Structure 1
Amino acid sequence: MARLSRYFLPTLREDPADAESVSHRLVVRAGLARQLGAGLWTLMPALWRAHRRCEQIIREEMDAIGAQELLMPVLQPAELWRRTGRLEIEELFKLRDRRDAELVLAMTHEEAITWHVAREVRSYRELPMILYQFQVKMRDEPRPRAGLLRVREFVMKDAYSFDRDEEGLDAAYELHRRAYARIFDRSGLEWYEVQSDVGMMGGSAAHEYMAPCPAGENEIALSDAGYAANVEVARAEPAPAEGLPAPRPAPERVATPGARTIEEVSSLLGVPAAALIKALPVRTRSGRTLLVLVRGDHRLNEVKLRNHLGEEVRQLTAEEIETDLRVPPGFIGPVGIDVPVLADEALRGLRGLVAGANQPDAHLVGVEPGRDFDCAWADVRRVEAGDRCPLGGTIRIEPAIEVGNIFKLGTRYSEPLGATYLDEQGRERPIVMGSYGIGPARVVAAAIEQRADEAGIVWPQALAPFDLHLVALGPPGERAREVADSLYEQLCARGVAVLYDDRETATPGEKFMDADLLGLPLRATIGRKGVEQGVVDLRRRSDGETWRLPLDQAPEQLAALVRQGVADTAAAAGAG
């Protein structure tokens, strides 16, 4: 399959200085990827092989649920995105051609696929239908980081379901949930399906597929009762606010010179952070200003706030607080403030709280929501470790990589783009849609993150760029090299994907080090002593177990071991 003496695999002896994650460090060191620019990565031949193996797993499972593969352009008319209201997304690349026509570089393909279906589907008899593709996506990512985990250009499998009604969408959604479970199991990942925010995609419901690892840019809330949700949408009962001061008949002003932060006020007054009201002035995209309150030991969840208000929000700057609200930053509070107040549910029923007095160097003690100020209520806080989930379990927070997502789009795209069908009575109805994405490169990076050890990558067999790393020791012309050459040819003839280290100048130590760094599932070594004894030395990368195979039976036994490894992976996925 590949002789290392001629294979493009530029390994490094040292870690790259800018590496931000395990996968970033190892894909560069192992010669699997090289950076072209910020968020722009070239996948070298070995990593592209792993990517294609991941694609094939996805393709097999998508085909199994009746999906049909196609390919759509990355370059698209901007008008389609204007009609769906998504043209103003900041991360969307926009450009004009030589005729001054507005175009975009697609970050997803809902607009394009819906446009096609709107022109081709006429009758209920043509539904349901699932279409999918593997295509490049472009995203003007503001903070590319961590190698392959946050990039500006990437390949994505995106699928779209088209149904007559919500019941049909539910069925298609469930088909994809089961297919995704099989895909991630076959890929050898530890993963969770979690509730998520619909975000810029729109629609009524969404789930994300998360692979836990320390380098993950997402955080998921998990519990021992089986609850799983992205922290952006997770809901939980907060841990009780303990040690609150005694209630007072009315708020009292106290001096807090220079104490602006929760920690400074808490320390100065000798009260727990949970006794404070954290006041956050925000402004919506439409220009509304309001004061959002959370418990002092909690954090605002801007996704929940955005979803509650129905529009984007941002926090006011210190200058805006002073000029627009006429309050010194750090001392703002809800009592007497002249803007609407929205309080988090965790504050409901609490008494004896501390809040800013809207005056320099002063706070109010003995504050009670509902008595001392009017407010609307909503769940707008971020869940924290130790909270109680809706199923009764204790919340823990883990970082994770998002490797896939699914959305119930409903008629979010079919209505503005005119995708309709005629039902049995001849009435025109909007097509009901779902959207389903997986990033193969993220799956590969997550597998590296989860399984790597101190020596390098430890590939799951299903994703490994090659099944076997064959190492030849000794110079050309020796018997060991002739035996290794012959074994390589016989394994290739049996369909085994072999990376053959036939380099003449590398020492045995260098060859073994590179083999551990690249991390293929099996390493077979042919050396002079082994040939004299009639054996092949075999080592399994995942656990270091070693054994010997008779040299005359090595081609058949090695091919059988590789086939068995793939079969075991597939069987485990099916059993799940």
Structure 2
Amino acid sequence: MRSSNLFGKTLRQAPSDTENISHKLLVRAGFIQQIASGIFSAMPLGNRSLSKIKNIIREEMDGAGAQEVNMPVVQPIDIWEESGRAENFSPPLASFKDRRDRKMILAPTHEEAVTIMARSGVTSYRDLPFILYQIQTKFRDEPRPRGGLLRVREFEMKDAYSFDVDQNGLDKSFDAMVEAYKKIFDRCGIDVVMVEADSGGIGGKDSNEFVLLTDSGEDVILISEDGDYAANVEKAVFEKTVNPYEELTAIEEFSTPGIKSIKELALSENVPESKISKSVLYTVEDEVIIVTIRGDYDVNDTKLRNLLKGKEPRLSTFEEAQSSGIIPGYVSAVELDKFYSVVDDSITMGTNFFAGANKNGFHLRNVNFPRDFKADLIGDIAEAKAGYTAKGKKVVLEERRGIEVGHVFKLGTTYSRKLDTTFSDGNGIQKHVQMGCYGIGVGRLLAAVIEANNDENGMILPAAIAPFEVYIVGINLHDKNVISNAERLYKSFIDNGIDVLFDDRDEPPG
């Protein structure tokens, strides 16, 4: 490629609305152009790098035995209704009606489509296992796209899907994809850590993220000091402390005028915050529920959603609390059995708690679970934080920030059951296919590489994904010897299959 023919211009300064370093550098270098919030065009230079990333992905997917397919971005909403995700996928599906008044959606992911594809080709255990993958456009109407290519609405993703006869087969496919991912990220020039993660709207029981650790990342990662445990904050677990046991005593109401916060109550009674039972009001499907957790911990909304089996909780408004007859600042689950009650298991790790009395200006002491209030659900809904002890270890958790560049899931039979994808085993018994899914955002990966590889002069892309491997600059191209040698070098690189950019512009250096 000759610079005189190259489309696109560089900028001396990044626009003021660019945020992180990758966004600034991609725009300044003329790699991308934004045409709407979270929607970008790839310019020639950017497209060359993205194409090289996709080639690396294809090589490693093919090397792992996966087969490339291509599924439609536009899908009938019927298949999403069949899987049960039409109404609760977040962000909400972007939809439209075709000329036959049939509702269609722009696919944010392809689990439904690939399961239907597999359903048409699987009848016997002999048809399994196999892995399908594609590099395809997705659309997710993110409410707050930001960070250039790191969080967008329209994007290209490599999504792969494995199909196996049993859990053992799924584990093998999962491990094969994990190894392929490690090779992809290594070839792209970044070091990643594999962390436990929440499955979110994709579903399934087990999932892991591949994360580039960087201060510019938006994800919070908790890693044990010894490096043996790492998890996204949405998923992380920790060793909860146990309050010293006390004999249960009678519940007692006492006056606390003006005291509404956990900290104020702890100071007033000269007790640690772990001795306080904190109740938080959430609204789920238009109903106010009471969530109780120990005063020194905070509720993890993702864990709460999972405990509620996917029902989306949000903090109740002051008006919702009042209309339910609850007094904010003094609430507890005591004597409020008519409300649905969720309890964190930290409440089982102590006795004689302090709690709200459901009366303005009053609290209770010696509150005990389950003697004094009920739980409709109980489990771990506490958010892990830096300084907490890693689960099952004697080392503490440290907080890091990172960028998710890949996500792998063990879906199990989540979709094969809902979409009736079965096979006949060796005994003629119909069983549901075991599935896994594996995603890499192509544009996000490029942005992450730049976040990890830059200096004061700009991006430092690894040769494997740089638009060009060689840049020829001829100083004084009016000199016949200079131009002839530059042309000879240019031709030699091209003949040897090396991507080269020859700056043949009639301009002075700089």
> Whole-Å Cα distance in 2 between the matches of residues 453 and 245 of structure 1?
59
CA separation of 1:99 and 1:118: change in aligned 2, threshold 3 A: same
TM-score by length of 1: 0.81
Q: CA deviation at 1:328?
A: 3.0
| Alignment-derived partner of residue 205 in structure 2 | 204
1:388 deviates by 1.5
Superposed counterparts of 1:514-529, under 5 Å: none
| SS at 1:5 equivalent | helix
In structure 2, what is the equivalent of residue 404 of structure 1?
A: 406
Q: Which residue is 2:345 aligned to?
A: 345
1:265 shift after superposition: 5.0
Q: How does 1:47-62 map to 2 (within 5 A)?
A: 47-62=46-61
Task: Report 1:422-441 matches (<5 A).
Answer: 422-441=424-443
| 1:217-266 per-position Cα deviation (integer Å, ceiling 9, x unaligned) | 22222112310112111111146789x99998644423242x54445555
- The alignment covers a number of residue pairs equal to 503
Q: Deviations over 1:424-445 (max 9, x none)?
A: 3333332222111111211111
Distance 2:485 2:239 in 1: 67
User: CA contact under 8 A between 2:345 and 2:379: conserved in structure 1?
Assistant: yes
Could you tell me whether the CA contact under 8 Å between 1:219 and 1:231 is conserved in 2? yes
Q: Compute the displacement of 1:365 (Å).
A: 5.0
Per-residue CA deviations over 1:239-294 (Å, capped at 9, x if unaligned) read 6789x99998644423242x544455556666655454332112333x65431122
Give the corresponding residue for 1:30. Answer: 29
Equivalent in the alignment of 2:317:
317
| Mapped contact 2:243–2:351 kept (Cα < 8 A) | no
User: Aligned pair 1:180/2:178, yes or no?
Assistant: no
> How big is each residue's C-alpha offset from its partner over 1:33-79, in whole Å with a ceiling of 9 and x where there is no partner?
11110110111111111111111111111111211111111111111
SS at 1:278 equivalent? strand
Q: Which moved more, 1:359-368 or 1:275-284?
A: 359-368
The AA in structure 1 aligned to 2:293 is V
Q: Which amino acid aligns with 2:318?
A: A
CA distance in 2, matches of 1:267, 1:481: 80
Residue 359 of structure 1 aligns with which residue?
A: 359
- The answer (yes or no) to whether the contact 1:245–1:353 under 8 Å persists in 2 is no
Distance 1:427 1:363, change over 3 A: closer
Counterpart of 1:473 in structure 2 is 475
Q: How far off its partner does 1:158 sit?
A: 1.0
Q: Structure 2: which 5+ runs fail to align?
A: none
Residue matched to 2:71: 72
**Is this contact kept in 2: 1:35–1:41, CA < 8 A?**
yes
How far off its partner does 1:395 sit? 0.8
TM-aligned CA distance change 1:204 to 1:443, over 3 Å: same
Structure 2 equivalent of residue 143 of structure 1? 144
Are the aligned partners of 1:256 and 1:265 in contact in 2 as well (CA < 8 Å)? no
Question: Which residue is 1:282 aligned to?
Answer: 282
1:469-519 deviation per Cα after TM superposition (whole angstroms, max 9, x unaligned)? 3333335346444433332232222222122333333x53x3xxxxxxxxx
Contact map agreement 1:169 1:433 (CA 8 A) in 2: yes
CA pair 478-218 structure 1, distance change in 2 beyond 3 A: same
Q: TM-score w.r.t. structure 2 length? A: 0.91
1:451 and 1:362, CA in 2 relative to 1: closer, same or farther beyond 3 A? farther
**Contact 1:256 1:363 (C-alpha < 8 Å) held by counterparts:** no
Task: Report 1:198-237 matches (<5 A).
Answer: 198-225=199-226, 226-237=228-239
3-state SS of paired residue (2:416): coil
1:99-147 deviations in Å (ceiling 9; x for gaps): 1011111111111122122122222222111111111011111111111
The alpha carbon displacement at 1:159 in A equals 1.1
- Cα distance in structure 2, aligned partners of 1:157 and 1:384: 32
Matching of residue 127 in structure 1 with residue 113 in structure 2: no
Paired with 1:394 and 1:321, the residues of 2 have a C-alpha distance of 37
| Cα shift readout 1:144-187 (whole Å, capped 9, x = no counterpart) | 11111111111111111112222221221111111112211222
1:57 and 1:445 mapped to 2: Cα distance?
Answer: 16
**Equivalent residue number for residue 82 of structure 1:** 81
Structure 1 position 340, deviation (Å): 4.2
Deviations 1:310-343 (A, max 9, x none): 131222111000111x233233233333434333
Give the direction of change, closer, same or farther, for the CA distance of 1:297–1:489 in structure 2 (3 Å limit).
farther
Distance 1:262 1:39, change over 3 A: farther
Tell me which amino acid in the other structure corresponds to 1:314: R
Share of identical aligned residues, percent?
A: 40
C-alpha RMSD of matched pairs (Å)? 2.7
Residues 221, 398 of structure 1: 8 Å contact kept: yes
